[in-house]
Amino acid sequence: MTYYSVLDVTPTSEEWIANYLPAANELVIKHGGKYLARTTSHEQLEGDNRTASLRILLEWPSKEAAIAFMQDPEYLPHLEARTKGSISHHYVIAGKDDLA
């Protein structure tokens, strides 16, 4: 089953970004993922205001692939750098309709 990662990221420093992007790009591909959107062009249409500089949407072939990416030893130092250098929220969402 397809899974999606949805991230809200607001950098609090830019030190990590130059090293993060090429590594994350390579590791997303390694785990079968694909970026669907990485953009600062977004607006919130409802709910309590949850600001973020960047919204990211990835597609994964499975939940296991998404988790393998997050736990990849090559990714961990970059994840730590992103976590320290930003306010981030990451959601993994099953590509199904439970309400159908």
In a domain, residue 71? The reply is: yes
Cα 52 to Cα 31: distance, rounded to the nearest angstrom: 26
What angle is formed at CA 54 by the lines to CA 53 and CA 56, rounded to 5 degrees?
Answer: 160
Which whole number is the average pLDDT over 79-100? 97
75 belongs to a structural domain:
yes
Residue closest to 37 by CA, chosen among 6, 64, 11 = 6
Q: Where are the alpha helices (DSSP H) in 11-100?
A: 17-30, 63-71, 76-84
- The answer to whether residue 12 is domain-embedded is yes
Identify the CATH number of the domain in which residue 86 sits: 3.30.70.100
pLDDT in tens, 1-54: 999 999 999 999 999 999 999 999 999 999 999 999 999 999 989 999 888 999
Let me know if residue 99 belongs to a domain: no
pLDDT, tens digit (0-9, with 9 covering 90-100), for 40-76: 999 989 999 888 999 999 999 999 999 999 999 999 9
Residue 32 domain-assigned (yes or no):
yes
pLDDT of residue 13: 96
Q: What local confidence, expressed as pLDDT, does residue 15 receive?
A: 96
Q: Which residues contact 86 (CB under 8 A, 6 or more apart)?
A: 9, 10, 11, 12, 13, 16
For the chain, how many structural domains are there in total?
1
By residue range, what is the domain housing residue 18? 3-42+52-94
